[in-house]
Amino acid sequence: MTRRFKIAAIAGDGIGKEVLPEGLKVLAAAAERFNLHLDFAHFPWASCDWYMQHGEMMPPDWKEQLSGMDAIYFGAVGWPALVPDHVSLWGSLLKFRREFDQYINLRPVRLFEGVPCPLAGRKPGDIDFFVVRENTEGEYTNLGGVMFPGTEREMVIQESVFTRHGTDRVLRYAFELANARRRRHLTVATKSNGIAISMPWWDGRADAIHADYPQVTVDKQHIDILTARFVLQPDRFDVVVASNLFGDILSDLGPACTGTIGLAPSGNLNPDRTFPSLFEPVHGSAPDIAGQGIANPIAMIWSGAMMLAFLAAGPNPDPRCGEAHDAIVAAIEEVLRTGPRTGDLGGTATTVEVGDAIAARVRG
């Protein structure tokens, strides 16, 4: 029996407003072709525009409004000229991640045919890995404060929080992914030589979970040299698991090594499906190019495909979601090979032209 999926569509700010419609266009094409029932509900909040009118990023009942959804399809948020970044982000995206317990941030990194690689001599196939990022705790907190404010003695404490609950589940997810669906090699990002309390502890948790997956080889690497190896030896990575901050860094750097962060998608996953998961491009709202219609919509479109794959894997799923995922990824691959291309890929196409081209190929 065919299920209806209810999906919240939230554009946010900046190029979020330009890429979301392209993502929706492609999803509509996939729905038509594969006879999926995707019901979209649009929300104007989680945006700085909303903040300017209401003094907060989201209405008080945002959680009720979204709780019944199967997924959230999200553009990008942030407009620092109007609202400081920490206010806009902590008032929206970071709330979703935390209050909907989207504890896995899954970010594929892949070099496509037809995309000029900034790393000399690398070919498609050389770069193909996943960053699994912890998404609810760690270095991203608003715990701490300022002492002696406004004086010469001023000092600030910022606290990071790592729980065994939060750490073990992301490590376990990464080991599962490496073991069941990948080449059984897991890189664990750390910085236990400099960050003296949390990171040695994190290493210890990785050892503990590793005991359950003896068939997976593990390589712990300090974040400094790990970023260097993304550039020098990107072919050695399979699955990389990292804390919130380190995963944030690696999942921008990885896509940069594949040519542009304009392609990189992400799933903010609640694998237990107690709350909706959220799918969004890795890139932000990009105020520098917003409003010009030149942003690359592929990260948004690929995020839509990831959303369908996630829905396809759930309990009582619609198997056609999986086929739709594959068709969208195939269409992205083809357009990357043949064009049209946006400026970040050396082309001159508009956001809409790239969206149209992918939608046309999905339609078949």
Ligand X SMILES: CC(C)[C@H](C(=O)O)[C@@H](O)C(=O)O
Q: Is residue 156 within the footprint of a second copy (CB under 8 A)?
A: yes
Give the CA angle between residues 7, 256, 242 to the nearest 5°.
Answer: 70
Per-residue interface string for the shown chain with a second copy, residues 106-125, x marking contact by CB under 8 A? ----------xxxxxx----
* Binding-site partner at residue 221 among ligand X, a second copy, none, CB < 5 to 8 Å by type: none
- Total binding residues toward a second copy, as defined by CB under 8 A: 70
Ranges within 84-103 binding ligand X (CB under 6 A): 89
Residue 159 within binding range of ligand X, rule CB under 6 A: no
**Closest CB 304 distance from ligand X, rounded Å:** 16
Strand arrangement of the beta sheet that strand 217-222 belongs to: 37-43, 4-12, 71-76, 277-281, 265-269, 104-110, 128-134, 239-242, 185-190, 217-222
- Asked if 81 touches a second copy (CB under 8 A), the answer is no
Q: Indicate which single residue of 15, 282, 312, 321 sits in contact with ligand X (rule: CB under 6 A).
A: 282
Q: Which of 142, 163, 193, 292 binds ligand X (CB under 6 A)?
A: 193
Q: Which residues of 318-333 are buried (b: 16+ CB within 10 A; e: fewer)?
A: bebbbbbbebbbebbb
Nearer of residues 198 and 350 to a second copy, judged by Cβ = 198
Least distance from a second copy to the Cβ atom of residue 204, Å = 10
**Could you count the other beta carbons within 10 Å of the beta carbon of residue 86?**
12
Is 190 in a helix, a strand, or coil? strand
In angstroms, give the least distance from the CB of 78 to ligand X: 6
Query: What six digits make up the tokens of 45?
Result: 């909040």
Contact between 194 and ligand X per CB under 6 A: yes
Q: How far is the CB of 180 from ligand X (least distance, A)?
A: 26
Give the CA distances from residue 98 to residues 137, 181, 199, 206, 276, in Å, rounded to whole numbers and listed in that order. Answer: 8, 27, 22, 22, 12
Specify whether the CB–CB gap between 344 and 296 falls below 8 A: yes
Q: Does 262 bind ligand X (CB under 6 A)?
A: no
Give me the residue label for tokens 């609950």.
165
Bridge-based pairing state of the strands 144-147 and 4-12: unpaired
Torsion sign across C-alpha atoms 42, 336, 135, 283? negative
Nearer to a second copy, 286 or 358 (CB): 286
| 3-state SS, one letter per residue, for 336-362 | HHHCCCCHHHCCCCCHHHHHHHHHHHH
Residue 136 makes contact with a second copy by CB under 8 A? no
Binding site for a second copy (CB under 8 A): 78, 84-86, 88-90, 94, 116-121, 139-146, 151-165, 191-201, 222-225, 227-229, 231-232, 244-245, 248-249, 251-253, 255-257, 260-261, 284
Binding site for ligand X (CB under 6 A): 78, 89, 193-194, 224, 248, 282, 284
